[in-house]
Amino acid sequence: MILAGDIGGTKTLLALFSATSGDCVVKQQYSSADFKNFYDLLDSFLAKHSKPELAAVCLGVAGPVVEGNCVTTNLPWTLRAGDIKTRTGARHVALLNDLEAMSWGLLNMPEADFIALNPDAEQTMGHIAVLAAGTGLGEAIIVRDKAHTRVLSTEGGHTDFAPTDEREFKLFTFLQQKYGHHISYERVVSGMGIVDIYDFLKQQTNMPATTETEQRFEREDKAAVISQQAQAKHDPLCIETMRIFCRCYGAEASNLALKALSYGGVLLAGGIAAKNLDLMTDGVFMQAFLDKGRYHKLLTKIPVKICLNAEAALLGAFYYALTR
């Protein structure tokens, strides 16, 4: 058996796969915040499934993996490959950055799992830029040539946020007052970013907050409420929040595309894009993506697609364990 996992700041997904058939035998989702560390969660999963004999464990983890270990970015967890090997009895254990795992999953998915934002772009062999906005903002680069494919995990979501107009400069200042000098793209292009953009607009503009939205905040996830209200066109403040979010997401996606020269495409994964297709496809994202001056023409040729499969990182972890 192979144990694969996708460990994120909000949820953790673990699954057992048959190493021979590739079938998923069992899968379980947990709220990450319900556990003080990963090992308690792992022990709970293994006990529930009679501690199966494992050939390999591969986990995609939201954080930098250094020498086989990871301190998660948005959770107070530390994962060590050696400890996991001892706890599970697995012969092989690998920790991958969650975007590295996700990239392997994306490479093994059918076209039916994607929606193209610019379907007339040229599909060519080349590097691929991967971005995933969810609890945080993950980024990776799939490096491809005729003979090899490799995945470079990055922490590109933590690079400096670059405002592109007067309002974004005001948003930048608002975020500095809240978080300090360094403002990363993750502070804007993420679930927590959506909430902060909303709070900024509420404070800085004359758009009133609706009673319905504010009441839902008391019992539901704020970022989810904002995106749902925007999609339903129930709240002008939420609509404008998501327009700013999409514009900043598009700008950062083309930043990574230029850095990687990703002629093979840009793939958007993570929960937010797939759950907000109407907002992502209304033109705001692509307008910002293409707004790179002299490189506008080059960027029009790069395919941009949204992955609809929410389990890309889990499947990528399994594929990695199976093939490597």
Confidence of residue 52 (pLDDT cuts 50, 70, 90): confident
Q: Looking at the structure, do residues 181 and 198 belong to the same domain, yes or no? A: yes
Q: What is the pLDDT of residue 8?
A: 87
Tell me the whole-structure pTM to 2 decimals. 0.92
Same domain, 115 and 181: yes
Q: Find the CATH number of the domain harbouring 24.
A: 3.30.420.40
204 and 272, same domain (yes or no) = yes
User: pLDDT by residue (tens digit) across 275-289?
Assistant: 999 999 999 999 999
304 and 316 co-located in one domain: no
Q: How confident is the model at residue 147 (pLDDT cuts 50, 70, 90)?
A: confident
Regarding whether 239 and 154 lie in a shared domain, the answer is yes
Same structural domain, 151 and 245: yes
Please check whether residues 99 and 117 belong to one and the same domain: no
Shared domain for 147 and 287, answered yes or no, is: yes
CATH code assigned at 303: 3.40.367.20
> Is residue 136 domain-shared with residue 281, that is, in the same domain?
yes
Task: Specify the number of domains making up the chain.
Answer: 2
- Tell me: do 90 and 189 sit in the same domain: no
Query: Is the predicted pLDDT of residue 55 greater than 90, yes or no?
Result: yes
Question: For 214-253, what is each residue's pLDDT tens digit?
Answer: 999 999 999 999 999 999 998 999 999 999 999 999 999 9
| Whether residue 132 sits in one domain with residue 40 | no
Look at residue 146 in the predicted model and tell me its pLDDT.
Answer: 80
Mean pLDDT across the stretch 199-206? 92
Whether residue 12 has pLDDT greater than 90: yes
pLDDT of residue 205: 87
Task: Write out the chain in H/E/C secondary structure.
Answer: CEEEEEECCCEEEEEEECCCCCCEEEEEEEEHHHCCCHHHHHHHHHHHCCCCCCCEEEEEECCCEECCEEECCCCCCEEEHHHHHHHHCCCEEEEEEHHHHHHHHHHCCCHHHEEECCCCCCCCCCCEEEEEECCCEEEEEEEECCCCEEEEECCHHHCECCCCCHHHHHHHHHHHHHHCCCCEHHHCCCHHHHHHHHHHHHHHCCCCCCHHHHHHHCCCCHHHHHHHHHHCCCCHHHHHHHHHHHHHHHHHHHHHHHHHCCCCEEEEECHHHHHCHHHHCCCHHHHHHHCCHHHHHHHHCCCEEEECCCCHHHHHHHHHHHHC
Domain encompassing residue 224: 111-308
Q: Give the pLDDT of residue 63.
A: 85
Residues 140 and 67 in one domain: no
